[in-house]
């Protein structure tokens, strides 16, 4: 088992509610110049869950499961900023009110821009939920460190999930990390240059069909763990040759220029100490038996 400082982590209870779907009330234009009107961010998304394809939906930036907020009207302010920072991938969530009170879910990430925490609940549970229901997240993970690998930084990751990711030590102080997909640096788009990686995400651009085919980007699923090649997220989202970052798919493919499936960071290293290896089962739904694997 990887050694960590998890016994020193601070653990919070965080209260939030499902956030209504949002709209701009105007046409949007895709990277080919075509206008469109489609479902997008937010909502209790009844038919889209972790493990489902991130491509092929009649939607743009679709968030699977429940999009949670602590301040829908001022989503960049308190207390929603705290919810975004402290909620980590793999944290447990529980409905504490409403018809489905007592049912459990799992945080699968957070989406910048909408500032939603994305939570997976069973479809039959979501069918009972309302936008007045309260969700309590047991938040733990920010500040997590790999004590034997100080150059590899962790963000937004529940320690229990870390130990289920089948990460193996290699010679030379490296770690072998299973991923479903390896995205080349040139595909990283919206969110590049953001100095803050302890919440939010950034997008893998899918506007070039040849690159999508070469790297099998269109096979990504919600909840996939993916490798971002030559990208360092240590102190912001930046290109650096030899660096590797690992993240999780939190929203669907997009039609806008510079956009695509959203990736929330969980691990990064400025040096070549993370060795990603392809594993089709490297998805939070497969690992935790949630989403479409329930």
Output the pLDDT for position 265.
Answer: 98
CATH of the domain at 123: 2.40.10.170
Q: Which single residue is written with the structure tokens 């925490």?
A: 117
Residues 131 and 187 in one domain: no
Q: Which single residue is written with the structure tokens 């493990």?
A: 51
Residues 172 and 258 in one domain: yes
Residues 102 and 213 in one domain: no
Strand partners, 93: 105, 137
What band does 171 get if pLDDT is binned at 50, 70 and 90?
very high
Nearest to 249 by CA among 47, 48, 41, 64: 64
Q: Are 266 and 284 in contact (CB under 8 A)?
A: no
Output the pLDDT for position 25.
Answer: 82
Q: Has residue 294 been placed in a domain?
A: no
- Taking only the tens place, the pLDDT of each residue in 236-294 is 999 999 999 999 999 999 999 999 999 999 999 999 999 999 999 999 999 999 999 99
Output the pLDDT for position 155.
Answer: 98
Q: Has residue 128 been placed in a domain?
A: yes
- Taking only the tens place, the pLDDT of each residue in 241-252 is 999 999 999 999
DSSP 86-121: H--BT-EEEE-SSTTTT-EEEEEEEETTTTEEEEE-
pLDDT at 148 over 90: yes
Q: Has residue 293 been placed in a domain?
A: no
Output the pLDDT for position 26.
Answer: 87
For 80, the 3-state DSSP assignment is: helix
The residue ranges of DSSP E strands in the chain, in sequence order, are 12-18, 28-29, 35-36, 44-45, 65-69, 92-95, 104-111, 116-120, 135-139, 153-154, 168-170, 174-179, 181-183, 202-203, 225-232, 238-251, 262-269, 274-278
Out of 84, 112, 139, a domain closes at 139
Cα distance between residue 125 and residue 106, in whole Å: 13
Output the pLDDT for position 99.
Answer: 98
Residues 223 and 272 in one domain: yes
Residues 174 and 98 in one domain: no
Out of 78, 110, 139, a domain closes at 139
Which two tokens mark 198? 């302890």
DSSP 8-state class, residue 228? E
Q: Has residue 270 been placed in a domain?
A: yes
DSSP 8-state class, residue 285? H
Cα distance between residue 80 and residue 96, in whole Å: 18
Average pLDDT over residues 80-100: 98
pLDDT at 1 over 90: no
Percent of the chain with pLDDT over 90: 98
What band does 64 get if pLDDT is binned at 50, 70 and 90?
very high
Per-residue b or e along 116-126, where b marks 16 or more CB atoms closer than 10 Å to that residue's CB: bbbbbbbeebb
Cα distance between residue 204 and residue 50, in whole Å: 18
- Taking only the tens place, the pLDDT of each residue in 8-39 is 999 999 999 999 999 888 899 999 999 999 99
Which two tokens mark 144? 């997590």
Report the domain count for the chain.
2
Residues 133 and 170 in one domain: no
Output the pLDDT for position 24.
Answer: 82
Which two tokens mark 115? 């500032």
- Greater pLDDT, 23 or 226: 226
Question: pTM value?
Answer: 0.98
Cα distance between residue 240 and residue 256, in whole Å: 25
Residues 283 and 157 in one domain: yes
Residues 267 and 238 in one domain: yes
Average pLDDT over residues 218-226: 98
Range of the domain at 175: 153-288
Neighbours of 253 (CB within 10 A): 25
Q: Has residue 1 been placed in a domain?
A: no
Nearest to 165 by CA among 178, 156, 147, 176: 178
């Amino acid at each position: 088992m990887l050694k960590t400082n998890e016994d020193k982590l601070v653990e919070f209870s965080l209260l939030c509610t499902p956030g209504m779907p949002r709209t701009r009330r105007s046409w949007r234009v895709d990277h080919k110049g075509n206008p469109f009107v489609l479902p997008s961010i937010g909502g209790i998304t009844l038919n889209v869950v972790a493990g489902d394809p991130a491509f092929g939906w009649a939607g743009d930036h679709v968030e699977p499961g429940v999009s949670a907020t602590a301040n829908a009207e001022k989503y960049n302010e308190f207390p929603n900023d705290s919810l975004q920072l402290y909620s980590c991938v793999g944290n447990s969530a529980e409905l504490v009110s409403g018809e489905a009170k007592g049912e459990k879910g799992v945080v699968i990430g957070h989406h910048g821009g909408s500032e939603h925490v994305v939570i997976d609940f069973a479809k039959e549970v979501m069918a009972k939920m309302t936008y007045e229901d309260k969700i309590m997240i047991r938040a733990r993970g920010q500040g997590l460190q790999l004590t034997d690998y100080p150059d590899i930084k962790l963000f937004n990751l529940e320690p229990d999930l870390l130990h289920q990711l089948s990460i193996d030590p290699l010679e030379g102080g490296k770690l072998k990390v299973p991923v479903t997909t390896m995205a080349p640096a040139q595909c990283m788009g919206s969110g590049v240059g953001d100095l803050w990686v302890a919440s939010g995400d950034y997008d893998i651009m899918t506007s070039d069909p040849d690159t999508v085919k070469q790297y099998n980007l269109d096979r990504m699923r919600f909840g996939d763990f993916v490798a971002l090649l030559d990208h360092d997220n240590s102190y912001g989202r930046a290109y650096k040759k030899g660096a590797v970052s690992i993240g999780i798919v939190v929203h669907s493919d997009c039609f806008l220029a510079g956009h695509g499936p959203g990736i929330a960071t969980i691990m990064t290293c400025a040096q070549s100490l993370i060795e990603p290896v392809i594993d089709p089962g490297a998805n939070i739904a497969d690992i935790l038996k949630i989403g479409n694997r329930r």
